[in-house]
Structures are given as C-alpha cells and as structure tokens.
C-alpha cells in the first residue's frame, strides 16, 4: 500500500515523502528504499511478504521491438515504395525521391511537411525512446533522460508515418488504372516498421518508465 506522509524537518519546514506499507506486519518503508530492494519486485525485509510486483518485462520487450524497428529505418525510407511502369518507362519511387520531386516542382511547403512528419519526427521519436530504454535496461541513465522522454511523449502526435502509408495506398489504387504498379521493398519494410512501432507503444509502460527514471536518477 502506497501513501504520502507529511513531516517537519530540522529547520521546521513541512516536507513530504511517499512510503509503502506492508499489508501483513505494517512496516513502513521509504518508496525509494523499497525500490532498492528489487527492480520489479520487492519483499518486506521483516516478514518476507510481497510489497509490490511490476511486470517490468514490458520494458525489455519494448526495447527489443524498438531496436528491430530502428534497423529498418534506412530501407524503409530509401528503398522503392512502388515501381511504376508506363509506356516502357520504369520509375522507382521512395520517400526521399518523393520529397526531392516535390521540392523540384516548387511545392516546398508540402515537401517540408512530408519530410518532417514522415521521416524526421518518427526517427527522432524512435531515437529518444531508444536513448531512454537503453539507459533504464542498463541500470544507468544517460544525461537528461527525463527531458528526452518528455519530448518523446510530445512528438507522438507529430510523427505520422501511418498517414503517409495510407496516402501511398490511396495513390496506388488511382495509378493502377493507367499504369502497371508493383509494390517495392520500401513499402513492405515501411509497413513492418510501422507495425513494430505500434507494438512498441502498446507494450510500453510509461508509468514504469517514469518510476525507473526516478529510481535511477
């Protein structure tokens, strides 16, 4: 059982701290002291009963999924998303070539939007989460981990690879009426990376991440 107690320190100021109480022998332990007894599970040092159990395997699983997704970044963005064949002319289009063509056509605002939301923000978001989880799983936080994880949370609404993939699928259905279109390696890699990112977010326990940042900080 977690609770917060208020007390006066030596200078007469009122302070507070979070404590955890044993349900069997009523022993009170400081929250950080209880965390020091075990990373994901702690037992009462007096009677041996369980104080708390956290399914910390989710952090290791999230890290494994994230690393796998990170390895797919280059082929997802650089490999051809689709191959267009029309009147003997074959064109391979990737995300990068699409951004370049938008710039060349003078649509710099759309090109910049695609570059930021479909490439830069997703990669930065993945890097921030990787920075956080590697430190936590190694038992030693990197500098500024709390700020990095906070920015990761804010960037989630700006990283829209899924919207880009949906747009590509809509474009393919229209192009298929007057040209031969085949999906390239980039499309499947992008879909796989997107799926891994979705599972990473699903299994990520953000509350546990903040607890670990506080404990290791």
Task: Give the span between the Cα atoms of 37 and 43, in whole angstroms.
Answer: 7
Per-residue exposure over 42-58, b if at least 16 CB sit within 10 Å of its own CB, e if not? bbbeeeeeebeebebeb
Are the C-beta atoms of 93 and 82 separated by less than 8 Å?
Answer: yes
Reported as a single tens digit per residue, the pLDDT across 163-196 is 666 666 666 666 666 667 777 888 889 889 888 9
- 174's CB contacts (< 8 A; 6+ apart) are none
- Distance CA(42)–CA(125), nearest Å, equals 32
pLDDT at residue 2 is higher than 50: no
pLDDT, tens only, 124-160: 999 999 999 999 888 888 989 999 998 888 887 766 6
pLDDT at 14: 44
Helix H or strand E encompassing 180: strand 180-183
Confirm whether pTM is higher than 0.85.
no
CA distance 111 to 74: 19
Residue with tokens 């970044």: 73
- Does the pLDDT at position 118 exceed 90? no
- Measured distance CA(115)–CA(159) in Å, rounded: 10
Domain boundaries, the chain: 2-53, 57-216
């Amino acid at each position: 059982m977690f609770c917060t107690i208020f007390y006066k320190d030596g200078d007469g100021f009122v302070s507070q701290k979070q404590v955890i109480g044993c349900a069997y022998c009523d022993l009170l332990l400081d929250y950080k002291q209880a965390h020091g007894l075990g990373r994901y599970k702690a037992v009462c040092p007096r009677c041996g009963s369980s104080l708390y159990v956290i399914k910390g395997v989710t952090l290791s699983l999230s890290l494994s999924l994230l690393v796998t997704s990170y390895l797919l970044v280059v082929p997802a963005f650089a490999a051809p998303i689709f191959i267009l064949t029309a009147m003997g002319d074959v064109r391979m289009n990737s995300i990068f070539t699409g951004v370049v063509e938008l710039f060349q056509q003078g649509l710099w605002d759309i090109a910049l939007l695609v570059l930021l939301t479909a490439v830069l923000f997703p990669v930065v978001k993945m890097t921030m989460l990787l920075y956080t989880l590697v430190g936590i799983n190694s038992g030693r936080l990197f500098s500024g981990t709390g700020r990095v994880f906070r920015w990761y949370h804010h960037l989630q609404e700006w990283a829209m690879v899924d919207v880009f993939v949906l747009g590509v699928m809509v474009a393919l259905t229209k192009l298929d009426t007057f040209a031969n279109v085949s999906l390239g390696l980039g499309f499947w890699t992008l879909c796989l990376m997107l799926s891994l990112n979705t599972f990473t977010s699903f299994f990520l326990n953000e509350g546990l991440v903040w607890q670990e940042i506080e404990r290791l900080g």
